[in-house]
Amino acid sequence: MTLTRIALRGVVAHQARMLLALVAIALGTAFVAGTLVFRDSVAASARASFSGSAADVTVTPRQGGDRQDGTGLPATVPGPVLDTVARTEGVRAAYGRVHVPDVVVLDGRGKPLSTRGDTVADWPADPRSAPRVSQGRAPGGPAEVVVAANTAKAHGIRIGDRLRIMAIPGTFEATVVGLGQERAGQAREAEVFVDSATAQRRLLGATARFTSIAVTAAPGVADARLRQQVLAALTDPAPFTVRTRDQEAAARGDAAGASLDVVTYLMLGFAGISVLVGVFLIGNTFSMLVAARTRQSGLLRAVGARRGQVNRLILGEAGLLGVAGSTLGLALGVGLAAGLIRVVGQVGDAPAASGPTVRWSTPVAAYAVGVLITLVAAYLPARRAGRVSPMAALLRVAGPATGRSLRGRNLVAGTAGLLGAGALLLAVRADELAAAGSLLAVGVLLTLVGTVAGAPILSVWAVRGVDRLVARRSGPIGRLARGNAIRDPRRTGATASALMVGIALVSFLSLVAASLVTSVDGQLERTVHADYFVLSSGPMTEQVARVVRETPGLDHVTAQQTVRADLITAHGTDRDHDLTATTERFTDDFKLTFTAGDARSTLAPGGDGITVPQAFADEHRLRLGDPVRVRFHGGGTARLTVGGIVRDGDVFASGATYIGAHVARANLPAEQMPLDDVYFATTAAGADRDRVYAALAERLAGFPQTKVRDRDSYREALHDTVALALDLVYALLALAILVAVLGVVNTLALSVVERTREIALLRALGLTRRRVRRMIRTEAVLIAVVGAVLGLLPGLAWGAATQRVLSTKGLDTLAVPWATCGAVLVGAVAVGALAAWLPSRRAARVDLREAMASGG
């Protein structure tokens, strides 16, 4: 009990020194708690809203199965199944429903309602599940639609406006006759509603087919019992999924939560990096507090406290700090989740929750993370405090010597570093990608451990090296700063490590991104011969294909589709394999590199060949002329022969397996034939390339889901994609840099408190306040630059090893981002100067008489 009171008093007495460590804990736990609350809130809201709109039992086609993806049409339930369900005992009524996503809806100005496609549905026959008509009336014919009120408000749509709806079966126009408002507690089903017959004919291209069946139970029949009776009534229930209201709501809620995986992973990434960097800050804080309280630890030992008790005292303070930081982080996390819910507004079909949902697991996770990382970070300083001898109470010493423990750390660092470097070298030389990837991950982890463990000795070496560039030019002030940085290698190493982790990741990803851009540029010039690329963010309808092919000035247009099949060879079967179906003109658009054979005879009309990538051929021991049976999902089986083996290593064709489009059409029914993925087009001889490009863009302007690019704009789009990914990563790593800056501030602030008497002595010897500030700033810059150097070196090594490992997958050119490296070093100087601002001002205000009179 006495030690508990001492721990409480210790936290209160040193609350200012622990403030930044508290902030680091709060930041890490805030992102953990915020992520969990956000996801739970969305899922709970979706479950509640879908529970309000779902039928007692819902019958839907089973997802996946033996059918092609990419047909543009959803799986459906045949009309006879509706009749069977309607006649089932316990069913009061059964309604066929139609929901079709990714439909392009254009307003009167020809602009799409959504860039990601809209959901168009039939108007529910069951009045309980139908939206409330806030204006106008329900649709009653093939040329009438109802628009969701929120969508209409966002796009200025009014009753009487004309909409153009572009679906896979064709395009049609309709007049807005009403605005629909979802009822309280119901999810919004769609943006646009049409009558049931129009939905089947215009959206599905068939009659007597539905995307789901809504079943209403007769009075007194429970949902679970009704589900069992519906399953029993179905002749073959295997192709269908039958759920009760609660099951359907739970499934839709989980789907809504899963749709936010990118946001979830991004926030957890923030949490992971801030926690990792915060460990260094917290450990440094307790190391300096333990050193500053050596006499107190000695007095406790002198009055009878055992080593374990002193150890537990420090860990108790750490636990209290962890609880306080976790509490603050939990509150911040709930606020962060509430803000995200408000920004997102809604996820999928479910409206955002009215307030955050905090499940019991969220506080448990937040406190577990916060307290655990604090105890882990404080463990080594606590052990050092326990080793303080009672004689330290009579001496003004900093505690036990550190040489022995540093020798142990250096041994661990050297061993981990050598093993990590060896793993990286083995990864570079490995023949199989899976083995190389595993070795690469081990190498990165071990070199990171080695760098962090060896940070004290590496920091000393780096400070002496950087001293030539920074400190020595500052004269005696620089030498003082260098001495302060070298005096406590642990403190300097821990502070530099916080910066090092973030900068290592920045340099690693920057090198990989630069190498990817350079590799793509080179291969685009070498392998891609097409002049134009027609891409689509939604289904590529036949109308788009006709417009592209009829554009004047084109020599030819090549389409390709992705077909799913099982490849059966004499040495094994590869299931769910994606095949690229195209024509022989593809060989004019792309220069494929073959280790054996070619593709022209395979893709030519009447050809019965298949080209496989080198890795697939090696795995299944295939050679030219070997037979391969291709079982098409949703279709027949073809016997093909290997006509070519494609070399791995090209970005645009790596791992691709090619068959002729005529083979896919011969073995798949029309309704199972996937839509085109992309069109490659080449300018005819004598035609002006710019005019043809402008004509293509003009003719496709009426199809907002498509985008035409020439070679230059295609290259820029690839660059923008890489840049966007990097921007997200840099935003994530900015938090690590922020916490690292807090670590430098904390280190310098505690260092100033620890060296109060020393600073006063320097002032007494004539050092001005301005020079004191300059000394602290120089020390901060030294530490920041050391952290940058220690981060750049392993980061670039990881990036170079990754490039070599992926060289056979298209990353064939190593490009070092020198500009980024230079910016990192310049930024480190700025970080150091910024972090030193408050500590340097405090050092300059040290009162000489009080400092000399105290023992501090």
pLDDT of 391 reads 64
pLDDT for 347 beyond 50: no
Name the nearest CA neighbour of 22 among 371, 336, 315, 500. Answer: 371
- How many degrees, rounded to 5, is the angle at CA 51 between CA 268 and CA 46? 20
Chain CA centroid to CA 480, Å: 45
Residue 206's pLDDT band, with cuts at 50, 70 and 90, is confident
| pLDDT > 70: percent of the chain | 86
Report the pLDDT averaged over residues 361-371.
88
DSSP 390: G
Looking at 541-550, 632-641, 731-740, which range is the least confident one?
Answer: 731-740
Is residue 485 within 8 Å of 463, Cβ to Cβ?
yes
3-state DSSP percent of the chain in helix, strand and coil, to 5: 55, 15, 25
Q: What does the pLDDT look like over 734-748, one tens digit per residue? A: 766 777 777 677 777
Residue 7's pLDDT band, with cuts at 50, 70 and 90, is low
More confident residue, 848 or 113: 113
pLDDT of 307 reads 72
Report the pLDDT averaged over residues 345-350.
45
More confident residue, 480 or 781: 781
Walk across the sheet containing 91-97 and list its strands. 91-97, 212-217, 57-61, 240-244
Collapse the DSSP code of 158 into the 3-class scheme (helix H, G, I; strand E, B; otherwise coil) and give the result: coil
Instruction: Provide the whole-model pTM.
Output: 0.75
Look-up: residue for tokens 């819910």? 341
CA distance 810 to 357: 45
Report the pLDDT averaged over residues 508-519.
87
Q: By CB neighbour count within 10 A (0-12 exposed, 13-18 middle, 19+ buried), where does 429 fall? A: exposed
Report the pLDDT averaged over residues 597-612.
85
Report the pLDDT averaged over residues 662-687.
88
pLDDT for 339 beyond 70: yes
CA distance 706 to 702: 9
Q: Could you please report the per-residue DSSP string of 595-655?
A: EEE-SHHHHSTT--EEEEEHHHHHHHT--TT-EEEEEETTS-EEEEEEEEEEPS--TTTTT
Report the pLDDT averaged over residues 793-805.
91
Collapse the DSSP code of 11 into the 3-class scheme (helix H, G, I; strand E, B; otherwise coil) and give the result: helix
